[in-house]
Every structure is written in C-alpha cells, then in structure tokens.
Amino acid sequence: MALDYDLSSIQEARDLARKAKAAQQILSSYSQAEIDRIVAAMCEAAKANAEWLARMAVDETKFGIFEDKVKKNVFASQGVYDYIKDMKTIGILSEDPVNKVIEVGSPMGVVMGIIPSTNPTSTVIYKALIALKAGNAIVFSPHPNAFRCTNAAAQVVHEAAVKAGAPEGIISCLPKVTMAATNELMKHDDVSIILATGGPGLVKAAYSSGKPAYGVGAGNCPVFIERTADVRKAVCDIITGKTFDNGVICASENSILVDEPIKEQVEAELKSQGAYILSKDEVEKVSNVVMTPQGGMRPTLVGRSAMVIADKAGIRVPEGTKILVAPLEGYGPGFPLSYEKLTTVLAYYVVKNWEEGCQLAINLLNLMGAGHTFAIHSQDEEIIREFIRKPVSRILVNTPASLGGVGLTTGLAPSFTLGCGTMAGSSTSDNVTPMHLINRKRLAYGLNAAPDACTAPRVNTQVSTEDIANIVKQVLAQLQK
C-alpha cells in the first residue's frame, strides 16, 4: 500500500512540474508591467488571508504564536512586496553607455520551493512573490507536519495570480508528502532551481540533486552584550527576538554572551523583564526535555512557551515567565543547550572582555550556525566593527536578531531564506530576493581595437636547416676576428 502511495506521489510531482513548465513558458512572454500587476494581487490576497492562515499553521504544527504568525504573514506579503515592487527583473535591467554593456533579465524557469514546518505559510507567500516577480513558476514541497496550511497558502496566492492574469499551474504544491515525491521534483528535468528552507538533510539533498540551489544552514545566533551597551534595551531586544513566534525563526538569539563588568546588571534586567535564570540542576532538566544528547531539538518542544517547557521539565517558574536562561560552563558535546534551540531557551555565558566574547562567538558558530547570524549590543563603534571579520553573513547591531535578520527591523532585504555563504556550504550569503532567481544576459559592444588577423602581413617564423648553418658560420667568423 505504501509503495502505491509513493508511486502516485511521484506521478503527481511529475505532473505538477510539467504543468508549471508550460505555465512558465506562457508567463515568460509577459511584460514587466503585467508581472507586477500579478505580484501586487498576490500580495493583497496573502495579506487579506494572513489571520486564518496563521491560525491554521499554529493548529496544525503546534509551533509558535498565532499573533506573531499573523505578523510574519503580513511581513512576507506587504513587507516583501514593498521591497521588490520597483525592481526590474524582466527585459533591459540597465545600460552602461560608457562601457557599452546592456544587461537583460530573463526568468530561470520553474522553481522548487522546499517549505519548513516552523514558518510554513509565511515562507510560501515570500517564495511565491519573489519567484513570480522574477517571471518564474514555483512548485512547493511542504513539510509533512505542515501539509495542510502550506497547501492552503499556495492556493491563496495561486488563485490571486490567476485572477490577475497568470496562467493556471504557475503556483502549485505537492498534494502528497513523501520523500519519493520530493526527490522526484528535485531531479525533474522541468525544474530549473531549488529554493530550500528546511532541515540539514533536505538542504543537503537539494545541493546534491544536480540542480542549482539556494539552501540555508542552521542558525545558532550568539548575541554579545558589550560593556557599553544600553543594558535595558539590549535585554528587551533579546527577549523580543527570542520570544517572537517562540523562537522558530532561524536567526533567533540562541546564546547570550555577557561582558563581565555588567554581569550583575544584565542578570537583574533579565529577571525584571520576565526571564528565569536556571540553576545547575534545572539546566540539566531542561536540557533533557528540550534537546537530544547529540544536540538536536526534540520536535515536540520546538516553538513552545517557557511555561510549557518548564512544566515538561518539572521545574517551577514564576507565572508569566517569557524565556528560560541556562548558564553553561562550556559548549559542544556534553552541553546540549549550546546548539540551536528553536524555542524559548537561551544559553548564557560570561566573558572577561570583547576579545573573549568574540572567540566564544566564533566557537559557538563553528559548533553550529557558521555563516548565519551574530548580534551585538554596544555603543562602541570600534568594537562593533571588529566583528565584521567574523564568520557570519549577518552582523546585527542593537536590534532583535530574529527580526533584524529577516529584514523587519533592519535595512536588510526582507527574506525568509537567509543564505550562509560558503562557510556553511551555501551558494549565497545574501537574504534571497527575486534578483537571485533571474538569469542576466549581457550585450557588449567592441570598444578596443584587436589585432586584425585578416589583413595584417604574415611573418615567416619557420627557419630552414640551411639558414641555421649560415647563422652558425657567421657567429664563428665573428669569434675568430
């Protein structure tokens, strides 16, 4: 029976890819204005349906907070749209009259969008907008735990796109979720590129598929509170970032690194703002329920509140506790909470100075999260700039990491696919936008004269044996004088 299900899912994947290719070939003839009209309609539809899609996501996955998922859906629609609406993606993008180069944009074709369970509806909205803005079709592969809400989000934006003039099949979603169907879609001839947001296994599979791919690595964002920081604001930003949707955004803060001179001030502020600092025994209890011994998250506690986690761990915390703070003496094996935690738990370290904080941040990132995100709270511009050289793609300053990383509170491109660069085996370190989903052609005129092979006189470069003998005689005669 399982084999029949897998076989039918593979056939459905093939059918969707073929339909998407046919639809994209029609869309490829559309003008920039026609594309923009479709994208605007998709934005409005996604925004209008943001609330029930968010409710559906929470009900199905049990992850996160309804109100925050609404905000993510609105950001993925209106926030992304505002950023991309004036982009030129089709036809002539630019002309350089000095170097006489004309740059032309053309679609890549069919995009495969792999969707995580942590941000299932907002990621669909975002990926659909950037794919169609670039003139592409997109086929989604949902996470098994978010199958219904992912399909619902895809249907919302597809219906809006078609009503605005897009061809049927331009946006679709696998109706059956199997690894066989996902693998078939990854390798299908009609799929041009993979946009992968999900677990390490799926991202690795995307890069191993033989197709061009944009994948994202794990996040494990360390946040350093340097001694010149506005401590009250820094703590507020950290709690805001970590509790937003209960920490399921991959750029969320995962470890606090505190400069030793302000340790007591930071801890007092944490407690006053709703954090609970765990004792050594409580750290072990929370570790056991939240993490596996290998440093992996237990799925049942992803995106859950601090009160739920404390209850599962059998510890008593004050009513209304927002986050659990776990002081650790090290990282790596033996310290499971030093790894990525997509929930309301933060590791906690004290460092002697910014140099030690910097080294610890690098060690934590190398453990997990290389290339992703680092945050610093400081008023010392010289120290802030020291962190530019660190192995991450986003260095966020005086802002909640989760919200700054996706571009909500910073000037970064609004995105739910955050590249980690070659440090993490990713093909980009950017926040992915429509410009990553177009091919750029260049028409270039000749500027500099080249040697004219057609009319230049030929030089005889061949020397006969007789010529060599005469040269030798001449040289010997010169030597005898």
Helix (H) or strand (E) holding 355: helix 354-367
Chain centre distance of CA 184? 23
Q: Is the pTM of this model over 0.85?
A: yes
Q: Give the pLDDT confidence score for residue 4 in this predicted structure.
A: 84
43 is catalytic: no
What are the pLDDT digits (tens) for 265-304?
999 999 999 999 999 999 999 999 999 877 788 999 999 9
Of 102, 125, 103, nearest to 113 by C-alpha is 125
Of 61, 217, 252, 58, nearest to 143 by C-alpha is 61
What values do phi and psi take at 33, rounded to 5? -65, -40
- Torsion on CA atoms 329, 331, 333, 338, rounded to nearest 10: 110
Q: Give the pLDDT confidence score for residue 23 in this predicted structure.
A: 98
Q: Give the pLDDT confidence score for residue 422 in this predicted structure.
A: 87
Catalytic site residue from 250, 358, 420, 454:
250
Of 440, 362, 366, 375, nearest to 403 by C-alpha is 375
Positive or negative: CA dihedral 238, 118, 404, 410: negative
Q: Which domains does the chain have, with CATH numbers?
A: 2-216+432-441 (3.40.605.10), 221-403 (3.40.309.10)
Q: Quick count: other Cβ atoms within 10 Å of Cβ 230?
A: 14
Q: Quick count: other Cβ atoms within 10 Å of Cβ 40?
A: 15
Rg, Å, the chain Cα set: 28
Contact 144, 177 (CB under 8 A): yes
Q: Give the pLDDT confidence score for residue 85 in this predicted structure.
A: 97
Q: Give the pLDDT confidence score for residue 279 in this predicted structure.
A: 96
320 φ/ψ sector (left φ>0, alpha ψ -120 to 50, else beta): left
Q: Give the pLDDT confidence score for residue 218 in this predicted structure.
A: 82
What are the pLDDT digits (tens) for 50-95?
999 999 999 999 999 999 999 999 999 999 999 999 999 999 999 9
Positive or negative: CA dihedral 474, 479, 480, 481: positive
Contact 336, 370 (CB under 8 A): no
Cα–Cα distance, 105 to 35 (Å, whole number): 13
Q: Quick count: other Cβ atoms within 10 Å of Cβ 65?
A: 18
Q: Give the pLDDT confidence score for residue 418 in this predicted structure.
A: 93
Q: Give the pLDDT confidence score for residue 463 in this predicted structure.
A: 63
Of 198, 46, 11, 229, nearest to 121 by C-alpha is 46
pLDDT per residue, tens digit, the chain (481 aa), is 566 888 899 999 999 999 999 999 999 999 999 999 999 999 999 999 999 999 999 999 999 999 999 999 999 999 999 999 999 999 999 999 999 999 999 999 999 999 999 999 999 999 999 999 999 999 999 999 999 999 999 999 999 999 999 999 999 999 988 999 999 999 999 999 999 887 777 777 888 888 899 988 788 999 999 999 999 999 999 999 999 999 999 999 999 999 999 999 999 999 999 999 999 999 999 999 999 877 788 999 999 999 999 999 999 999 999 999 999 999 998 899 999 999 999 999 999 999 999 999 999 999 998 899 999 999 999 999 999 888 899 999 999 999 999 999 999 999 999 998 888 888 899 999 999 999 999 999 999 888 777 765 555 556 677 776 777 677 666 656 5
